[in-house]
Chain A
């Protein structure tokens, strides 16, 4: 019975929903027909035509009311109401295009920016590894610090040696699988089968059960199994998906081909699945089992050194084992290892050592650690801007709705329910929010790319959008809509009928709320602008920093003699030929070698012992070591303060020499002339490996613009000690000083180098000045972004102040008229309006300053030589706000001044 009922009625309901106008017309016709028939009847029974019609109409009791009631019976309830609300809302928005445009644009910016930053955070921080069952993966350490450490670890253990890994694998009961992987990666010389040219490509060494621990399937071929990682196994390599696509166009035929890494042949056995950016989110192009570490790194086997800490470990917990339990067990095992190792450690050190585990699902994200703070700061800034935008729109809506009081009162009087009215206003504002949101998604897409490249120096191709992002956008749109729409909606429906219809409602309350909004905007803008100001000053200070060498004229060229197969003993001859060839290029003043270019991020520190000084606390003597070629300081433009530069006379067989920097001379030789003194690296003092100080150079910045210059010593690259010794290293960098613009000679370098050695890989050629700029890129990003957002906030606050003042003036026309009639001059009115405006701004500043002081403390770590409470910045921002506010209230003030008392007094 019910179904039949529904079957009958549904077409009817649908019809009234979709064929509204036709239905309405029919209704009108029906009622009209009735009136006509009734009239005819009365006329037939003797009434006059007009009288008859009037009676008929009266009997109907109000045609419109009747129509409404009929329509009510046909209602498809809320759906129809919603459609009506939306239509009405759109109409209202179309009536005031200026307001709509401003509102939608500000919303789009606010929502878009928030979504952009969320998608960045989401992809970099929240994305889990696309591996099987990530929830029971556990990392041994939650720090992303990379590198390797030979020597001792204290405190928190991050890296482990081969022996440690084997011990844990055999003894730790918490894990179903325990795998290990290299903490960094190697840039290895790679040659593909049939291709004569070698290239540099990054690869990572991993244990045989690495892929199986993660539960990854192969995209092609197969992945490692434990037997690939045993001594004597046949060399196998797994390629990354991206590399496979790029170099081999995804051809399956590469499986089985030879892949030569650093002169050792490996067989390609498979390809990893796509989207697997490896645990550390920096993609290696290939993976090789741990057992081949000596071949890939061209050093001796780390398996022989129990203290060579170069592995990260990750494990899959057995069912039922929690992370906390596993951590306790691992810590106990660590202490066992330390107690029984070849060189037993002090009890204190054992007590101090511990392992902290972290859920492996997030991977050891380099980005996460480095940029977490940056993203959080950005998110806060953008959140505040969105709030300001919402406050603005709330204000605008309030002023608009105030003008609609009469309309609302009439509606309430005619019979609309308050609930319906609130719903309708809410729909209007949600419409606004929706429009803003749609635009906002576009802004988000574009904004995410911008943010990624500006602040994070990351290509946005690495940042995928996923389902959470649009969901977030929708969520924040709704939130924004409700935030700025609810207050006006509720306020509207509470209208007191009688007074509002008359148009003389009390206006006090509304002023308070609108004022509050403006004050909030001013305060928030102040906070943002102060932040922007601090970042700008930091940037300025950083840019001003003197490096100490002549970076504008220097080119750094990365070469890899090691990969080309040169032994350390051969390098001096190679380097000399390279230098000679490059110096022959016109425009080159001089050239030399060093082991790493400044600001490359790599450092080489060591302990040392000075001849003649007591051993004492040898651990406290640390120095940063650089390997440099002849005329190094001359090429770099660093003045020599005492003694001489490294010269061509310092070659193999001559006594070892070194040049130290000012800081080293000051700290370790206490101002006494150190020329002639000797020291050796490591402890105790080793006369065979000791170097004589032949010069002191001026301090120069090599590592960071912010941190103090450390003690540095520069040994001669051409004085290569025994191969495989502690000090052996390659000078992997060529520094070329150009007479003019270094870019001009950049193109000549590669061919020149090829002439000397055709197998020498040339990895990159950089203008040093640009590298330095890149190191402060993040600061520049902060400064630019915070300034942009600060300006946006200021602009919005300006509009807010203008809107509020304009509204107030328009409402007080009557009052102003009275004042003028009583004798106030135009100047007095001006003072009145301006005074109110300044008071608003003043309160905003008073509220904003403590807020700003509190928030800037958060960014203190990002600042440089600028205090978070820098008074200059605060003063400048306050002045700016006051100026802007005055400008904003100029037009309303002028309008107030122009009020004609006669007109104002007569009309409301």
Chain B
């Protein structure tokens, strides 16, 4: 992925939040899910994934817990908080409006 600008960074946060809204998972699983769901279009470099996750945790939108996975290994699981859920809704709304506006401009008929 190209270097994210502020706009795209905010969108990234929204994506992470959405994925964690589905179910709690650890960082590796988040990046795998993102790749899978977007059909390999959206990928995050590992070096920016974890700082992003930590930032989300710092903001209080997700919370972390050390749990033992099915494979018997201890991992840090992130899950969405109530605050995070609200933030997600807000960001989704913003995105909807933004993408709708962009689409309208792009779909303008050329004369």
Taking the complex as formed, is A600 at the interface, i.e. its CB lies under 8 A from any CB of chain B?
A: no
Taking the complex as formed, is B45 at the interface, i.e. its CB lies under 8 A from any CB of chain A?
A: yes
Across-interface contacts of B54 in A (CB, < 8 A): 70, 73-74
- State the CA gap A462–B54 with chains docked (Å): 62
- State the CA gap A726–B59 with chains docked (Å): 96
A26 touches B66 (CB 8 A): yes
Across-interface contacts of B55 in A (CB, < 8 A): 73
Name A34's contact: one of B27, B45, B60, B74 (CB within 8 Å): B27
Name B59's contact: one of A5, A31, A61 (CB within 8 Å): A5
- State the CA gap A66–B46 with chains docked (Å): 9
CB distance from B13 to the nearest CB of A (A): 12
Taking CB atoms and an 8 Å cut-off, the chain B residues in 24-51 that contact chain A are 26-28, 45-47, 50-51
Taking the complex as formed, is B21 at the interface, i.e. its CB lies under 8 A from any CB of chain A?
A: no
Interface size class of A (residues with CB under 8 A): 20 to 34
Taking the complex as formed, is A59 at the interface, i.e. its CB lies under 8 A from any CB of chain B?
A: yes
Taking the complex as formed, is B2 at the interface, i.e. its CB lies under 8 A from any CB of chain A?
A: no
Across-interface contacts of A31 in B (CB, < 8 A): 50
Across-interface contacts of A282 in B (CB, < 8 A): none
Taking the complex as formed, is B107 at the interface, i.e. its CB lies under 8 A from any CB of chain A?
A: no
B45 touches A38 (CB 8 A): no
A30 touches B59 (CB 8 A): no
Main secondary structure of the interface of A (DSSP, over half): helix
Taking the complex as formed, is B19 at the interface, i.e. its CB lies under 8 A from any CB of chain A?
A: no
- State the CA gap A30–B75 with chains docked (Å): 7
Q: A9-B58, A26-B76, A73-B58 are in contact. Are A38 and B28 (CB under 8 A)?
A: yes
- State the CA gap A34–B46 with chains docked (Å): 9
Taking the complex as formed, is B73 at the interface, i.e. its CB lies under 8 A from any CB of chain A?
A: yes
- State the CA gap A732–B51 with chains docked (Å): 93
A9 touches B50 (CB 8 A): no
Main secondary structure of the interface of B (DSSP, over half): helix
CB distance from B93 to the nearest CB of A (A): 16
- State the CA gap A214–B27 with chains docked (Å): 77
- State the CA gap A827–B59 with chains docked (Å): 71
B47 touches A9 (CB 8 A): no
Binary flags per residue of A48-73, CB closer than 8 Å to B gives 1, else 0: 00000000000111100110011011
Q: Across the interface, name the chain A residue whose C-beta is closest to B81.
A: A8
B47 touches A61 (CB 8 A): yes
- State the CA gap A31–B73 with chains docked (Å): 14
Taking CB atoms and an 8 Å cut-off, the chain A residues in 678-710 that contact chain B are none
Taking the complex as formed, is B83 at the interface, i.e. its CB lies under 8 A from any CB of chain A?
A: yes
Q: A12-B57, A59-B45 are in contact. Are A33 and B50 (CB under 8 A)?
A: no
B83 touches A5 (CB 8 A): yes
Q: A8-B81, A30-B27 are in contact. Are A60 and B58 (CB under 8 A)?
A: no
Taking the complex as formed, is A37 at the interface, i.e. its CB lies under 8 A from any CB of chain B?
A: yes
Name A66's contact: one of B26, B50, B60, B75 (CB within 8 Å): B50
Taking the complex as formed, is A4 at the interface, i.e. its CB lies under 8 A from any CB of chain B?
A: yes
B28 touches A34 (CB 8 A): yes
Name A60's contact: one of B26, B46, B76, B81 (CB within 8 Å): B46
Binary flags per residue of B52-87, CB closer than 8 Å to A gives 1, else 0: 001101111001001000000111100001010000
Q: Across the interface, name the chain A residue whose C-beta is closest to B29.
A: A37
Q: Across the interface, name the chain B residue whose C-beta is closest to A56.
A: B46
Across-interface contacts of A34 in B (CB, < 8 A): 26-28, 46, 50
Across-interface contacts of A9 in B (CB, < 8 A): 58-60
CB distance from B23 to the nearest CB of A (A): 17
A4 touches B57 (CB 8 A): no
Q: A26-B66, A34-B28, A38-B28 are in contact. Are A12 and B51 (CB under 8 A)?
A: no
- State the CA gap A9–B59 with chains docked (Å): 7
- State the CA gap A13–B60 with chains docked (Å): 11
Taking CB atoms and an 8 Å cut-off, the chain A residues in 1-43 that contact chain B are 4-5, 8-9, 12-13, 26, 29-31, 33-34, 37-38
CB distance from B80 to the nearest CB of A (A): 12
Across-interface contacts of A26 in B (CB, < 8 A): 66, 76
- State the CA gap A502–B83 with chains docked (Å): 52
CB distance from A623 to the nearest CB of B (A): 93
A33 touches B75 (CB 8 A): yes
B46 touches A61 (CB 8 A): yes
Across-interface contacts of B50 in A (CB, < 8 A): 30-31, 34, 66, 69-70
Q: A5-B83, A8-B81 are in contact. Are A61 and B28 (CB under 8 A)?
A: no
**Which one of A31, A37, A59, A61 has the highest number of Cβ atoms from chain B below 10 Å of its Cβ?**
A37
CB distance from B27 to the nearest CB of A (A): 6
Between A and B, 7 residue pairs with Cβ closer than 8 Å are A12-B57, A26-B76, A29-B76, A30-B26, A31-B50, A37-B28, A73-B58
Q: Which residues of A contact B (CB under 8 A)?
A: 4-5, 8-9, 12-13, 26, 29-31, 33-34, 37-38, 59-62, 65-66, 69-70, 72-74
Q: Which 5 A-B pairs have the closest CB atoms?
A: A61-B47, A8-B60, A69-B51, A73-B55, A60-B46
Q: A13-B58, A30-B50, A33-B28 are in contact. List 19 more A-B contacts (CB 8 A).
A: A4-B60, A5-B83, A8-B63, A8-B81, A8-B83, A9-B59, A9-B60, A12-B58, A29-B76, A30-B76, A31-B50, A33-B26, A34-B28, A37-B28, A60-B47, A62-B47, A66-B47, A70-B51, A72-B51
